A and B are shown apart, each in its own frame.
Chain A
Amino acid sequence: MIYIDIITGFLESGKTTFINELLENEAFEEYNKIVLVICEAGFTQYDENELKRLNVVPIFLENESDLTNNLFNSIESKYCPDYVLVEYNGTWNISKIIGLKTPKFYKLRNIILISNAESFDNQLDNMASLMQPHILNSDVVVFNRFKKLNEKAQKKLAKVIKNINPKTKVTFYKRFRRDKILKERFIMSKDSDEKLSNMTTDIEISALLILCYAVICVFREQNTYTYIQYMATVFLGILMQAIPFILLGAFISSIIQIFTSNGWIMRQISKGRWYSFLIAAFAGIFMPICDCGMVPIISGLLKKNTPLPQTMTFWLSSSAVSPVVILSMLYAFPDKPYLAVVRFIAGLFIGITVGLILKLFNLETGDVVCQTRRVQRIGKDILDLKYKGLMGKIEAVFAGAKVEFFRVAEYVIVGALISAVLQTVLPQTMKNIIGQNIIIQFVIMIAASMLMSTCSTSNAFIGRSFSNNFSTVPILSFIIVGPMLDLKNMIMLSEILKKRFLFFLAFLVILESIIVFGALSFCF
């Protein structure tokens, strides 16, 4: 087995120094012939005599087009090396070298990205399309020149890398011999590492098998099976119902991110300081989709850096002003059509006031959005596109929607699973604690709306079915606040927003609803 290691990074990032140190390590002395492929045009800092002493043959590639399928074959036939090291050009496409054909006994062992810690942030922001694939494919990211950064900044860097590829390791490089992560990669045979990761996958697979076995056992116990089957049906029902909306939301989000410039949305939403909230609140009328489809749109907007207060107003109100929702209210309460109006106004009121409070707190989008936001942004530069012009734009929207779909689907699955379990467990417990006290009713209804994850378009009917045991105002709170506090939506939003902010938001909504429904209970 002949290993190939790739060291990549931008010019001046310290690749050459790193390679020199690497080759001087005694572990590399046992190689009789090392081929060093250098993909950097112009001068190099290698000492030729030194290379000769270390049995290293340098090969120079000037252009990206020199990377042909024949490369490793000709190296093999010409030099018969027992180790190949590549100094790769950071501005070249990394998947090009990974995709090259190699002789069968060649194995790509490591891809190491060397980066200047001080300029990393800047590079990632400005050259995302270059940097992201390199990080995505790297086993280790080695940071140089990090002395000026404090520990917190270093941790932040590590977090950014982990968000792009959770399997990529991060090291702050001092000397090769002292670096445990790198030594493991290069010196101790990689087998041990593979064994370790194999072991974890083994554990995962056996856990899955045990689960399957448990499921089979459950088959025998008819009652439990029925119970779980019901749970699974609810789970899949929620998902099936959500899929069309999530796809629609993913496409809208993708279009927002690709076609609209930052400035355009900013201007639309922040025209006039106070009345912009009204626009944001009423904008939901034009989004006749259910709340799970709204989440990708909200995250698309936040990735575009729209002002937080208005975006939250838009999000909270949308579940009350959508035409579908109003119709469902009229159908569910044919005898009390004014409840549809109450829902419309209460939804608008809560949305706008929460937005205004956020504005008073001076919360900016940047403060509450997860650090990972910028690496999750979709742009023409990040999507790997084939076509140009109009076709390119369509392709970009399509590819972006696919990325968003996979991203959101993960959270939808978790959310649907939790609410399916709660839906099967909760009703029995809830039935026992129904009280006559309106405050207790109110608390129960708010809790139910959080946990039951009902769709904003159908929860009017579910609220209706409570009407035997609850009075009108608590049911209204269930219907109106439900989509705003919905656990599934919260889990979906935690993809983009910080958890602490989501708690704050939920707190504000509950506070608002106490005021609103307290006032309403005097009217009814």
Chain B
Amino acid sequence: MFRRNNKEAIIQIILLLATACLLTYAIISKEATYYVHPRFFLGIKVSIVIIVLFAISLLSKIHKARHNVSLRRYMIFVIPLAAAILFPASGVSGKETTMSISNFSPYKNNQVNTDTNNNTNSNAGNTYDYSEGTENSSSYQGDSQSFSGDTTNINSYPDNDAGLETSSDDSKDYSEQYLQYEKDGVMVINDDIFAQWYCDLYAHPDSFKGKRCQYLAQVYSMDDGKPNQFLAGRYFMVCCIADLVGYGIICESDKRSQLKDDEWITVTGTIDECEYNGSVAPILKDVTITKAQAPDIVYVYYNGN
């Protein structure tokens, strides 16, 4: 004696549960931070619950036998599941993911950079194995250098019009809210406030002039900059990885040639203004660079306030 069952319901249950498992894993392991802004996490958690409930509600349908079931339409659901399993996000760190999107970004990384990056970093996989550790390695420590200030003939810069329009007639000191982060005269900007700080800095460069700041950053090269210039910045996520854009602040250092693209550094410098393609932009002077390890969460998230 045997009884037929409903293959369609079984396949739907498998797909739903697989989706729920992968989403749960992404949330628990924090891998979801590679894909979407953390503000979606609540929605995704609710979705997991609903998807599991869908699967449970289907259990009763298993015994509603079906004949001549067409299962081909479910083939397409295999694509995202396979993509999630075959290309785990943990393998993606900033350096690999951002090249193409960064063409939209102000510092204009291009495909040439991608190639060099991948060649230099491919054997190391995605981890940075600096044996000496982070702050103590100090290979570049203390190499500060003054900056002459002639930064002409460089094309584009982010938010330059914003800087121009608002800085002139605004007397409010926007740097005040960051005073609480000051340690020994240095404003230590952590990842949580980096996006906010960056936007304030560009909107009101006057308020920040002369302040000494320290933050964790990645090295981005500038095609059109001087040989000793680079951008120290982070990749910003607004919604999901599709809108990832890298933003950075100009730094000048004669150790530029020793820095690889997308390398993690802790950069400390004094904020000054410079003229950049006809507009005012902040620049870091007296730069101290320390090699750093990649943080657990490589992107910073823009909250828009």
Could you list which residues of chain A lie within 8 angstroms of chain B, going by C-beta atoms? 73, 95, 98-104, 108, 111, 136-139, 165-168, 204, 215, 222-223, 226, 228-230, 232-241, 243-245, 247, 327-328, 331-332, 334-335, 384, 386, 395, 398-399, 402, 405-406, 409-410, 413-414, 417, 419-420, 423-425, 427-428, 430-431, 452-455, 457-459, 461-462, 465-469
Q: Is the CB of A413 within 8 A of B68?
A: no
- Stretch in B138-146, B186-194, B233-241, B251-259 touching the partner: B233-241
CA distance A299 to B276 in the complex (A): 50
Q: Is the CB of A222 within 8 A of B118?
A: yes
Contacts of B68 in A (CB 8 A): 111, 137-139, 165, 167-168
- Stretch in B157-165, B206-214, B280-288 touching the partner: B157-165
Find A468's partner among B36, B75, B84, B156 (CB 8 Å cutoff): B156
Q: Is the CB of A240 within 8 A of B118?
A: no
Q: Is the CB of B106 within 8 A of A240?
A: no
Could you list which residues of chain B lie within 8 angstroms of chain A, going by C-beta atoms? 1-4, 12, 23, 26, 32, 34-36, 40, 43-44, 46-47, 50-51, 53-54, 57-58, 60-61, 63-70, 72-73, 75-77, 79-80, 83-84, 86-87, 89, 91-92, 96-97, 99-101, 103-106, 110-111, 114-115, 118, 122, 155-158, 161-162, 165-166, 199, 203, 238-243, 245, 302, 304-305
- Of the candidates A226, A245, A457, the one having the most CB atoms from chain B within 10 angstroms of its own CB is A226
With A222-B122, A402-B57 known as contacts, the answer to whether A410 contacts B2 (CB < 8 A) is: no
Q: Could you write out 25 A-B pairs with CB less than 8 Å apart?
A: A98-B65, A98-B67, A103-B1, A108-B67, A204-B75, A223-B114, A228-B87, A232-B83, A236-B83, A237-B34, A237-B240, A238-B240, A240-B26, A240-B35, A241-B40, A243-B43, A247-B50, A247-B51, A398-B57, A413-B76, A425-B100, A427-B101, A465-B158, A467-B161, A468-B158
CA distance A409 to B78 in the complex (A): 12
With both beta carbons as reference points, the residue of chain B lying nearest to A417 in the complex is identified as B79
Q: Is the CB of B66 within 8 A of A137?
A: yes
Q: Is the CB of A229 within 8 A of B92?
A: yes
- Of the candidates A168, A417, A467, the one having the most CB atoms from chain B within 10 angstroms of its own CB is A467
Q: Is the CB of B111 within 8 A of A428?
A: yes
Contacts A234-B241, A236-B35 aside, 5 further interface pairs with beta carbons under 8 A come to: A226-B96, A328-B304, A402-B58, A413-B77, A427-B104
With A101-B2, A137-B67 known as contacts, the answer to whether A240 contacts B23 (CB < 8 A) is: yes
Find B35's partner among A103, A215, A233, A425 (CB 8 Å cutoff): A233
Contacts of A399 in B (CB 8 A): 57
Q: Is the CB of B100 within 8 A of A428?
A: yes
Q: Is the CB of A335 within 8 A of B162?
A: yes
Q: Is the CB of A335 within 8 A of B165?
A: yes
Contacts of B91 in A (CB 8 A): 229
In the complex, number of A-B residue pairs with CB atoms less than 8 Å apart? 208
Q: Closest CB-CB distance, B224 to chain A, in whole Å?
A: 12
Q: Is the CB of A98 within 8 A of B4?
A: yes
Q: Is the CB of A240 within 8 A of B76?
A: no
Contacts of A386 in B (CB 8 A): 60
Q: Is the CB of A167 within 8 A of B70?
A: yes
Contacts of A468 in B (CB 8 A): 106, 155-158
Q: Is the CB of A414 within 8 A of B67?
A: no
CA distance A417 to B77 in the complex (A): 12
- Of the candidates A204, A215, A465, the one having the most CB atoms from chain B within 10 angstroms of its own CB is A465
Contacts of B69 in A (CB 8 A): 167
Q: Is the CB of A223 within 8 A of B104?
A: no
With both beta carbons as reference points, the residue of chain A lying nearest to B104 in the complex is identified as A465
With A243-B47, A384-B64 known as contacts, the answer to whether A99 contacts B241 (CB < 8 A) is: no
CA distance A138 to B69 in the complex (A): 9
Contacts of B158 in A (CB 8 A): 465, 468
Contacts of B2 in A (CB 8 A): 101-102, 104
With both beta carbons as reference points, the residue of chain A lying nearest to B157 in the complex is identified as A468
With both beta carbons as reference points, the residue of chain A lying nearest to B15 in the complex is identified as A406
Q: Is the CB of B83 within 8 A of A235?
A: yes
Contacts of B65 in A (CB 8 A): 95, 98-99
CA distance A413 to B78 in the complex (A): 10
CA distance A425 to B99 in the complex (A): 11
Find B53's partner among A137, A223, A398, A461 (CB 8 Å cutoff): A398
With both beta carbons as reference points, the residue of chain B lying nearest to A137 in the complex is identified as B67
Q: Closest CB-CB distance, B301 to chain A, in whole Å?
A: 12
Find B304's partner among A139, A241, A245, A327 (CB 8 Å cutoff): A327
Find B66's partner among A100, A103, A136 (CB 8 Å cutoff): A136
Q: Closest CB-CB distance, B59 to chain A, in whole Å?
A: 12
Q: Is the CB of A332 within 8 A of B161?
A: no
CA distance A73 to B3 in the complex (A): 12
With A240-B35, A413-B80 known as contacts, the answer to whether A111 contacts B241 (CB < 8 A) is: no
Contacts of B75 in A (CB 8 A): 204
Contacts of A327 in B (CB 8 A): 304
Q: Is the CB of B302 within 8 A of A461?
A: yes
Q: Is the CB of B242 within 8 A of A237?
A: yes
Contacts of B304 in A (CB 8 A): 327-328, 331-332, 461
Q: Is the CB of B46 within 8 A of A244?
A: yes
Q: Closest CB-CB distance, B69 to chain A, in whole Å?
A: 8
With both beta carbons as reference points, the residue of chain B lying nearest to A223 in the complex is identified as B118
Contacts of B47 in A (CB 8 A): 243-244, 247
Contacts of B305 in A (CB 8 A): 331
Q: Is the CB of A465 within 8 A of B87?
A: no
Contacts of B46 in A (CB 8 A): 244, 247
CA distance A104 to B2 in the complex (A): 6
Q: Is the CB of B40 within 8 A of A233?
A: no
CA distance A462 to B165 in the complex (A): 21
CA distance A230 to B35 in the complex (A): 10
CA distance A395 to B79 in the complex (A): 30
Q: Is the CB of B70 within 8 A of A166?
A: yes
Q: Is the CB of A406 within 8 A of B12?
A: yes
CA distance A309 to B288 in the complex (A): 62
Contacts of A223 in B (CB 8 A): 114-115, 118
Q: Closest CB-CB distance, B123 to chain A, in whole Å?
A: 9
Q: Is the CB of B118 within 8 A of A454?
A: no
With both beta carbons as reference points, the residue of chain B lying nearest to A97 in the complex is identified as B65
Q: Is the CB of A104 within 8 A of B105?
A: no
Q: Closest CB-CB distance, B296 to chain A, in whole Å?
A: 17
With A99-B3, A237-B36, A241-B240 known as contacts, the answer to whether A410 contacts B76 (CB < 8 A) is: yes
With A99-B65, A238-B240, A240-B35 known as contacts, the answer to whether A405 contacts B54 (CB < 8 A) is: yes
